[in-house]
Each structure stands twice: as C-alpha cells, then as structure tokens.
Amino acid sequence: MLKVVHDTEASNENTAGGSLLDQIVRDGARQLLAAALQAEVAAYVEQFADELDEAGRRLVVRNGHHEPREVTTAAGAIPVRAPRSTTSVSTR
C-alpha cells in the first residue's frame, strides 16, 4: 500500500502548511468549480437569449463576478469567484 509521508524538513510545503500534493488538489478543485460555474451562467444566459426589451437589447446578460468567497471541500478551503448574470425587468 502506498502512503503519503510528510517530511517536515523537505521543501514540499507551501505557505498554508499543506503538502505540494494538497496544493495541486486544491488548485484542481478550484479550476473545476470555476468551469462549472462558468458553464452554469452561460447556459442560463443562453436560455433567455431570445428575450429582448423594447430597444432590442437582451434582458438577461452576463455581468462580471460576485465577490470572492471560500468554499470548503475535502481538499480544504478554496477561493471562488462566481460569475453573475443580470436580469432586466421589462416595463411593458
């Protein structure tokens, strides 16, 4: 059986106190979450692509990112910036 052994004298530790492997897992989890959030927002915006206001502008558009926050995973806490969309309310 393989085991991960932490050698405190080795320089495989990052500033957060975890191993290099832990950092790689956190980075991978962050990238997967970011991709999933981007895909979800893109699908939401596309769902309402044909909804237009009186001037012919889309009612649902992509609008930047929310404030960063930490999401706790089995790999530890990872920072996430979720994309956001804006829904305009028509005055019809």
pLDDT at 11 over 50: no
Residue 71 counted as domain residue: yes
pLDDT attached to residue 30: 86
Does residue 85 or residue 49 have the better pLDDT? 49
DSSP 65: E
Residue 56 counted as domain residue: yes
Q: What is the dihedral of CA 58, 68, 71, 38, to 10 degrees?
A: 30
Residue 11 counted as domain residue: no
Confidence tier at 84 by pLDDT (50, 70, 90): confident
Average pLDDT over residues 8-22: 59
Residue 43 counted as domain residue: yes
Residue 59 counted as domain residue: yes
Residue 67 counted as domain residue: yes
pLDDT in tens, 47-66: 998 998 898 888 888 877 77
Residue 77 counted as domain residue: yes
- Measured CA to CA, the distance from residue 91 to residue 50 in angstroms comes to 17
pLDDT attached to residue 8: 52
